[in-house]
Amino acid sequence: MRVVKIKEAGKGNTFEIRVQTTLEAIINENKNKQIVKLDVTVNSVHSKNFTDEYDYVQETIKKVFKNKVPAYSILFSPICDDSEFTMQYQIYDMDVKIQYKTLLKHPYVTAESENGIEIFSGGISFQEDSLLFSAQRCFDLSEQILMAEDMNFGHIHQQWNYIPTPHPNTDTPVEAQDGLQLFNEVQNFYYEPPLFVNGKPLARNRYNYNATLLIDFIAFAVNNDVVTTKEIPKAAMDWVNDHPGLNSKQVVDGKNELWFTSSPGNKLAADNEAIGKSNKDIEQQTLQSLKSIVSLKDSSHTHLHTKGEFSYLKVTVDQREDYTKVEELIKSSLPGINVFFVNGISHQSDVLVELEGLII
């Protein structure tokens, strides 16, 4: 079974020591598990040198994990509770066949069971002279990894796109938006519609304050007709139609996992405009998102035969000053859930909060 965990910065006198002790703690706490994916978010507010810190984290991951390096991403973004860095990771039980591989020196992981094989790409990143060339190189390497495992882009069910952007204290919103548009144009060249018989990946677009484009994906290929990944048709799910801004992707592999994102801002904007009400209401958007995902969780147990439990929840808050209110609303509504809060500028102007997570 897949489990997602979160680990905050450990103790130590320096950034370097704290990174190493945190990684070692993750290994020690999961000796009977297999770590397949690791996402390190470094708080960009406190970062002194993105390049040096990126290089050190990367080198330490390889040193600590030795011949079992998980698929990893290293990101720079503000963290709401002001932690120095946070590590989010996925683990599997020992009965799943895990292989730690490399292609063109890029580490990635495959998880194979009797039902199928899953690829964890880790962060595929390039920093070329232009975003166009960086995006092309990212998708070229992605395609090579997929082909090495007899897959194509149509097998991707999760994708995170981190678009390089200047630090938010610089005034460049137009360039940042142009960057996303250019990225989408390159992606559309590779994402041929006939490949996506099960719908396109559940994608999240985020800013990365390191000047590097990074994409990260999870892909799944089946061994039999029972197993698939599929986009749940909204027409067949009344509870989705009732709650705007909710997208989900089901992984049917005997465990029935349901990944989701919820960002109701744009739909609320249209509704509120009709009645003359402002859509820039953080409480309204948070409550709408909570209503959507709780309804999805409850209904997934009945309709999709999941356990009906949240494995984890990641919350992106657009405005740092809204963090306390959002945290209060979410933790009071979902006590005991593993929640990670980050502060990130949204690519959708009306979205103040976005929720993503996994229902098992």
Kindly tell me if the per-residue pLDDT of 104 is higher than 80.
yes
Kindly tell me if the per-residue pLDDT of 269 is higher than 80.
no
The most confident of 198-207, 208-217, 243-252, 261-270, by mean pLDDT: 208-217
pLDDT digits (tens, 9 = 90+) for 45-91: 888 788 899 999 999 999 999 999 999 999 998 899 889 999 999 99
Is the backbone of residue 156 left (phi > 0), alpha (psi -120 to 50) or beta? beta
List domains and CATH numbers for the chain: 1-95 (3.30.1330.40), 98-225 (3.30.1330.40), 232-360 (3.30.1330.40)
Asked if residue 358 lies in contact with residue 308, where contact means CB atoms within 8 angstroms, the answer is no
Residue 67's H or E segment, with its range, is: none
Q: Which of 226-230, 247-251, 329-333 has the lowest mean pLDDT?
A: 226-230
Per-residue pLDDT, 245: 63
The DSSP bridge partners found for residue 250 are 230, 258
Helix, strand, coil fractions of the chain, as percent rounded to 5: 35, 30, 30
Report residue 124: phi and psi, to 5°: -100, 115
Q: Give how far Cα 284 sits from Cα of 9, 243, 266, 272, Å.
A: 32, 13, 13, 11
Q: Give the DSSP per-residue string, 268-322.
A: HHHHHHHHT--S--HHHHHHHHHHHHHHHHHHHHHHT-----EEEEEEEESSGGG
* Number of Cα atoms under 13 Å in the Cβ half of residue 29: 12
Asked if residue 189 lies in contact with residue 142, where contact means CB atoms within 8 angstroms, the answer is no
Kindly tell me if the per-residue pLDDT of 220 is higher than 60.
yes
Report residue 66: phi and psi, to 5°: 55, -115
Kindly tell me if the per-residue pLDDT of 229 is higher than 60.
no
Question: Mapping DSSP to helix (H, G, I), strand (E, B) and coil, where does residue 258 land?
Answer: strand
Average pLDDT of the chain, as a whole number: 83
pLDDT band at 177 (very low <50, low <70, confident <90, very high): low
Q: What percent of the chain has pLDDT over 90?
A: 46
Kindly tell me if the per-residue pLDDT of 173 is higher than 90.
no
Token pair for residue 272? 């509120």
Rounded Cα gap, residues 273 and 271, in angstroms: 6
Per-residue pLDDT, 266: 47
pLDDT digits (tens, 9 = 90+) for 114-150: 778 999 999 999 988 889 999 999 999 999 999 999 9
- Using a 10 angstrom Cβ sphere, with 0-12 exposed, 13-18 middle and 19 or more buried, the burial of residue 299 is middle
pLDDT band at 168 (very low <50, low <70, confident <90, very high): low
Question: Mapping DSSP to helix (H, G, I), strand (E, B) and coil, where does residue 116 land?
Answer: strand
Question: Mapping DSSP to helix (H, G, I), strand (E, B) and coil, where does residue 332 land?
Answer: helix
Q: Give how far Cα 342 sits from Cα of 183, 318, 321, Å.
A: 23, 9, 12
Hunting for tokens 């200047």 — which residue is that? 166
pLDDT digits (tens, 9 = 90+) for 107-120: 999 999 877 899 99
Counting every residue written for the chain, the total comes to: 360
Per-residue pLDDT, 174: 41
pLDDT band at 276 (very low <50, low <70, confident <90, very high): very low
pLDDT, mean of residues 247-256: 66
Rounded Cα gap, residues 265 and 40, in angstroms: 28
Rounded Cα gap, residues 39 and 356, in angstroms: 15
Neighbours of 94 (CB within 10 A): 9
Report residue 100: phi and psi, to 5°: -100, 115
